Structure 1
Amino acid sequence: MNRIFFAIVFACSFLFNGHAQEPYQFTTVIDLDTTPVISQGITGTCWSFSTSSFLESEIMRISGKNIDLSEMYNVRNTYPKKAWNYVMRQGKAQFSEGGLAHDVINSMRDHGLVPNQVYTGLEAGADKHNHSEMVAVIKAMLDTYIENPGRELSPNWQLAVSKVLDVYLGEVPQQFKYEGKDYDPKSFLAMTGLDPNDYVSITSFAHLPYYKQSILNIPDNFSNGSFYNLPLDEFMEVIDQALAKGYTISLDCDVSERGFSSKNGVAIVPEDSSLTPKAWTAIYPELEIDQDLRQAQFESYSTTDDHLMHITGLVKDQQGNRYYKVKNSWGTAEDRTAFGGYVYFSESYMRLKSISLMIHRDALPKSIANKLMF
């Protein structure tokens, strides 16, 4: 009798202390329309892949059309702006492959859109993107201009940057056919039904005034984009209400965390961080996240602006815990992802490690939209 009693106590203690937990069993709660997962290749252009995916879902929502947009068209139109910023700031700015969701919206507003079949941005014979050499070449050119202050800048320096981009990515199309009709980039944008003015960026940090727009000082915000700042609970409410109303969301987040595992398809924040590897495959208690902890991790660089992705739905585990279904752009290889290129973000992970969102303004809850100074 005593042996049985102690065996039960031991087993319960073993489970309670987190050494043996239930493997995840996920069921779908919300699953919104989106295009297939693809790969950004060996590039830092997640900002264009994720936001293009977001816009593709927006086109589906607005018109029901399934259009594969060119990610590299946005990239091609953004590099000259990065080069100008870098040179005018005399090299005291970041020139890199990174960017943010609003850079795609700016490109769309200024240059329109084109389908991927018209502009792939791939060199002849290549089957994946690799911008390492291209970026190194352009940066070396820009540094040469900057490091020779005794000479005036050649009036052709911007043209030279443009020509390098053309060599590596291809010349941008001015006219093209799509499904038998003639378009230019602006008329193609009009056909999609997208309006660049419909999209707003949201963040949540205590050092910024709430309900107002502020520039978020992170390295990839070279274009000084502004974000509406919300308290954390309302930031999360925006995500939940948007998904419930059928709107997907572009997400900027931190993925350089032990809790993020693309291979296992989950992103979590265990209460006991030593259990993180186990929590990739089984349910463990998670840390409660408030505004103060979120702020502290941001200010200490524990939370950094690493990666942009696309929130397309919601799932739950067998205990009722909710996870956001987040589309990645690292392909679908089975050795890299458990869920076909998606990662399930726990609520704790989203509260702690998200940086910002981009959504259609109609997706905002009215109670929150009324507080913002549009």
Structure 2
Amino acid sequence: MKPIIIVAALAAALSVQAQEAAKTDSVEGFKFTDVKTVKTGPVRDQNKSGTCWCFSSNSFFENEIIRKGHKPVDLSEMFVVWHTYDDKADKYIRTNGKINFSQGGSGLDVPYVWAAYGMMPEEAYKGLNYGEDNHVHGELESAMQGYLSAINRKPNRRLSTAWRKGLQGILNAYFGEIPQTFEYEGKTYTPRTFAQSLGINPDDYATFTSFTHHPFDKPFVLEVSDNWLSGQYMNVPLADLKAIVDNAIDKGYSVAWAADVSEGGFKWKEGFAVMPADKDEADLEGTELSRWVKLSDAEKNREKYDVKGPVKEIEVTQEMRQDMFDRQETTDDHGMVIVGKATDQNGNEYYKVQNSWTDKQKYGGYFYVSMPYFLAKTMDIYVNKEAVPAAIRKRTGI
């Protein structure tokens, strides 16, 4: 009986530990300690679909539902994706193909669909109607792009009245038709009444970014191809962008986060993202210096990003951040959710991030982003207005 007692005691201890706000995660050379975390729903898996924008924003709203004290719910990503593809296709044709039509999108697409069409739970609309157990959108994207390209050429010299139904037919073939009503936990809903039952008002949320090619404290349309809605983002100084996230986490709010993840220091599998500084040859001595100067630029770059633990990182300025964006070194790649703050063994600050690339990873689908990485590579954030510091709200009119 003793082994059973020991196992039970160990399981109980682990359960208590998992519920604590602060815990330590470690990877080779790193030791991360959570300083503050917010309550979150489970990590979702976008699999082979380019719909991170939907998975991240849905997860963000799932976290908000939990924060508000409501019962957790698994929101349907493909309900949002169906409506986004449909409306994006309409705009694509209306602009003669002058906007980007692809799997990519903006985090603002989710509140747009929420306000315009409502929401559904995952169990009522999974969007897997094409022989796959998980999302795989390559064929669907190609089918829609081919169809829209043909429609855009106007072979009849003017558009027919059927083209949009044809596009919706493709969506229905792959995702299934969206039901007008559905049952959930013993009640009958429409997408609109279900959205109303969740206690979320899209007007309670705001977007922020930080660039100098537009004036601060005023909104502007962020110039990225996936912003097909021409959504506006409030522009604030970089220090304020960080202050908003810090204040949100401290008060128990998560933050939807769009960022560039193409950097060599973005180590998803290893559970961290850092922005290593270039090696200073003045600090190298003897054989180390002689070896370094013989390396090619490619070899130096590989060594720079061969990160095994805390490293010296770049000091990010507003000007540096702008230059990276202007030269398209910083690109709009991926949507995630910031859910906590942490430190490494050297006291460096990180944000803890909830991702949508499965939970089969070092930290179960979460990873740690250094402050230099956040400051340099953030495209934008989306957050409850209540989580924005009062001085910033007053100054920006949020």
Alignment correspondent of 1:232: 238
Alignment correspondent of 2:56: 50
Alignment correspondent of 2:356: 329
Alignment of 1:118-133 (within 5 A): 118-123=124-129, 125-133=131-139
CA distance in 2, matches of 1:212, 1:353: 21
CA distance in 2, matches of 1:147, 1:189: 38
Residues 1:158 and 2:164 aligned together: yes
Whether contact under 8 Å (2:276, 2:305) holds in the other structure is no
Alignment correspondent of 1:350: 374
Which of 97, 102, 105 is the aligned partner of 1:99? Answer: 105
Alignment correspondent of 1:257: 263
Alignment of 1:64-103 (within 5 A): 64-103=70-109
SS in 2 for 1:95: coil
SS in 2 for 1:160: helix
CA distance in 1, matches of 2:390, 2:304: 38
Q: Which amino acid counterpart does residue 259 of structure 1 have in structure 2? A: G
Which of 277, 281, 284 is the aligned partner of 2:305? Answer: 277
Identity of aligned residues (%): 40
CA distance in 2, matches of 1:162, 1:124: 15
CA distance in 1, matches of 2:208, 2:121: 28
Alignment of 1:1-374 (within 5 A): 23-123=29-129, 125-148=131-154, 151-272=157-278, 274=301, 275-279=303-307, 281-333=308-360, 337-374=361-398
SS in 1 for 2:122: coil
SS in 2 for 1:309: strand
Whether contact under 8 Å (1:63, 1:193) holds in the other structure is no
CA distance in 2, matches of 1:192, 1:176: 16
Whether contact under 8 Å (1:268, 1:346) holds in the other structure is yes
After TM superposition, give the deviation of residue 342 of structure 1 in Å: 1.3
Whether contact under 8 Å (2:339, 2:352) holds in the other structure is yes
After TM superposition, give the deviation of residue 126 of structure 1 in Å: 2.0
CA distance in 2, matches of 1:116, 1:363: 28
CA distance in 1, matches of 2:304, 2:368: 15
Q: Which amino acid counterpart does residue 128 of structure 1 have in structure 2? A: N
SS in 1 for 2:195: helix
1:183-203: CA deviation from partner (whole Å, max 9, x where unpaired): 111111111100011111110
After TM superposition, give the deviation of residue 339 of structure 1 in Å: 1.4
Whether contact under 8 Å (1:70, 1:119) holds in the other structure is yes
CA distance in 1, matches of 2:224, 2:260: 12
CA distance in 1, matches of 2:212, 2:201: 31
After TM superposition, give the deviation of residue 289 of structure 1 in Å: 0.2
CA distance in 1, matches of 2:157, 2:47: 38
CA distance in 2, matches of 1:175, 1:357: 33
After TM superposition, give the deviation of residue 328 of structure 1 in Å: 0.9
SS in 2 for 1:236: helix
CA distance in 1, matches of 2:367, 2:95: 38
SS in 2 for 1:313: strand
After TM superposition, give the deviation of residue 71 of structure 1 in Å: 0.8
Count residues with an aligned counterpart. Answer: 349
Q: Which amino acid counterpart does residue 92 of structure 1 have in structure 2? A: K
After TM superposition, give the deviation of residue 125 of structure 1 in Å: 4.4
The farther-off stretch of 80-89 and 304-313 is 80-89
Whether contact under 8 Å (1:215, 1:226) holds in the other structure is yes
Closer/same/farther in 2, CA of residues 121 and 294 from structure 1, 3 Å limit:
same
CA distance in 1, matches of 2:44, 2:206: 25
SS in 1 for 2:263: coil
After TM superposition, give the deviation of residue 146 of structure 1 in Å: 1.4
Q: Which amino acid counterpart does residue 97 of structure 1 have in structure 2? A: Q
After TM superposition, give the deviation of residue 93 of structure 1 in Å: 1.7
Alignment correspondent of 1:4: none
Question: Alpha carbon RMSD of aligned pairs, Å?
Answer: 1.3
CA distance in 2, matches of 1:132, 1:350: 30
Q: Which amino acid counterpart does residue 222 of structure 2 have in structure 1? A: L
CA distance in 2, matches of 1:172, 1:276: 49
The farther-off stretch of 80-89 and 295-304 is 80-89
SS in 2 for 1:362: helix
Whether contact under 8 Å (2:255, 2:339) holds in the other structure is yes
Whether contact under 8 Å (2:41, 2:66) holds in the other structure is no
Whether contact under 8 Å (2:222, 2:231) holds in the other structure is yes
Which runs of no fewer than 5 residues in structure 2 stay unpaired? 1-27, 280-300
CA distance in 2, matches of 1:160, 1:148: 14
After TM superposition, give the deviation of residue 124 of structure 1 in Å: 5.3
After TM superposition, give the deviation of residue 343 of structure 1 in Å: 1.8
Normalised TM-score (structure 2): 0.85
Which runs of no fewer than 5 residues in structure 1 stay unpaired? 1-21
1:191-225: CA deviation from partner (whole Å, max 9, x where unpaired): 11000111111100010111111100101001100
